[in-house]
Amino acid sequence: MKIESVKFVHPKKKVSNQDILDVVREHSAPVFDGDLDTALASIGYMLDSIGVQERYWFTNETPLELMVQAAEAAFEESRIDRQDIDVLIFCGIARGFLEPADSYFIAQALGMDKVDCFDVMDACMAWSRATDIAESFFKSGKYKNALIINAESYFNKGGVSYPSNFTLKNFRSLEHCFGAYCGGDGAAATILSADGDDWERYYISKKEGADLCTIPLAGYEGRCMDSSLIALNGLGSFTAFSSRVFASFESMIEILDKISHRFDEVKTIYAHTGGDVNAYEKWAQEAGAGGKITYLFPNYGNLGTVSMPASLALDIESGKLQRGDKVGCWLGSSGMSFTSYVLTY
């Protein structure tokens, strides 16, 4: 499978760690029970210590506008006509609809009336799953070209993170709200064709942490085992026990080791960093990949499903990644699931 083109677009508003503290203060001051200044100092310290410096948030733009912009740029670079795309897959965490699939509205906006459409949902893993599904389609001969679209918009007003995660009721709320402060918004479009080499992929899946990072819907109680960790920020809102998630991430070393026989071949390994860069670097060192990892997190935050295509797109745009280069991808996702894979650009 070949990446014909991949484009990343982010909103215009750059948000610093101090901006995060200001937003938390604004929304928490009326309801916080305790010393808010101490809580804010703790947030600031944690943000600085895990390596995130800035991220981008939606303001006047819409996710659809950025997805269309990314797709149009991808079409232009690939020189593949949109009417030659066989299937369009949407794979963002943030989404607009349970029915129908978001992909139908994206296809409508792009004037792609005949393309097959569906969505893939698997938290931050979804872009990787979508490319895997596309490759399976190609191998079966069903399709020749695919467009994968994703956009994360955590910080739209009334969205999955804002203002719910920024309205702290007490110091303890930080445990399940902090993860949102690392997030960033953006959109990506990836055009894939049946040409090229197979991607070498590995997965590990664990279930004991399924309730550690969730965005629950109404009626979720009848669809999972009882848990006191779900919906603490309300229905439709992001609730993540980040420190517990990372404590469950010992599989990150095991999954990275799966591609250790390719370390000498790959130019870099793109890490989906949903948090502490120091932890990822430690895992990389233990797997023998120290110095091989590229981190998007410091300048863009946790982009969710957009992190892998954004990493590729930024290095292609800067000239760091050239045709024929081999790269690795390495990520963990809520659920819990882990993957590593090697592809040739």
Q: Which amino acid is at 152?
A: E
The domain of 242 spans 200-344
253: number of Cβ within 10 Å? 17
- Residue 80: inside a domain: no
Q: Which amino acid is at 125?
A: M
Q: What is the pLDDT of residue 286?
A: 95
Split at pLDDT 50, 70, 90, the class of 273 is confident
- Residue 110: inside a domain: no
Split at pLDDT 50, 70, 90, the class of 227 is very high
Is 25:36 a contact under the CB 8 Å cutoff?
Answer: yes
Residue among 214, 296, 205 nearest 248 (CA): 205
Q: What is the pLDDT of residue 242?
A: 83
Is 179:93 a contact under the CB 8 Å cutoff?
Answer: no
- Residue 338: inside a domain: yes
Q: What is the pLDDT of residue 244?
A: 82
pLDDT in tens, 172-224: 999 999 999 999 999 999 999 999 999 999 999 998 889 999 999 999 999 99
- Residue 249: inside a domain: yes
Residue among 218, 211, 260 nearest 235 (CA): 218
Q: What is the pLDDT of residue 50?
A: 94
Retrieve residue 283's tokens: 């895992």
- Does 106 have pLDDT greater than 90? yes
- Residue 235: inside a domain: yes
pLDDT in tens, 52-87: 999 999 998 999 999 999 999 999 999 899 999 999
Residue among 263, 339, 312 nearest 3 (CA): 312
**Mean pLDDT in residue range 142-152:** 97
- Does 250 have pLDDT greater than 90? no
The number of domains in the chain is: 1
Q: What is the pLDDT of residue 118?
A: 98
188: number of Cβ within 10 Å? 32
Is 215:237 a contact under the CB 8 Å cutoff?
Answer: yes
Write the CATH number for 230.
3.40.47.10
Residue recorded with tokens 């946790």: 302
- Does 275 have pLDDT greater than 90? no
SS3 state of residue 152: strand
pLDDT in tens, 288-304: 999 999 999 999 999 99
Q: What is the pLDDT of residue 296?
A: 95
- Residue 3: inside a domain: no
Share of the chain above pLDDT 90, in %: 92
Q: What is the pLDDT of residue 56?
A: 97
User: Alpha carbon of 4 to those of 190, 212, 219, 240, 341: distances in Å?
Assistant: 8, 36, 41, 35, 18
C-alpha–C-alpha distance, residues 240 and 334, integer Å = 9
Mean pLDDT over each residue of the chain, to the nearest integer: 95
- Residue 304: inside a domain: yes
- Residue 306: inside a domain: yes
User: Alpha carbon of 194 to those of 1, 131, 315, 331: distances in Å?
Assistant: 5, 11, 23, 24
Split at pLDDT 50, 70, 90, the class of 154 is confident
Q: CA torsion 320→303→331→238, rounded to 10°?
A: 180
Is 89:190 a contact under the CB 8 Å cutoff?
Answer: no
**Mean pLDDT in residue range 6-19:** 97
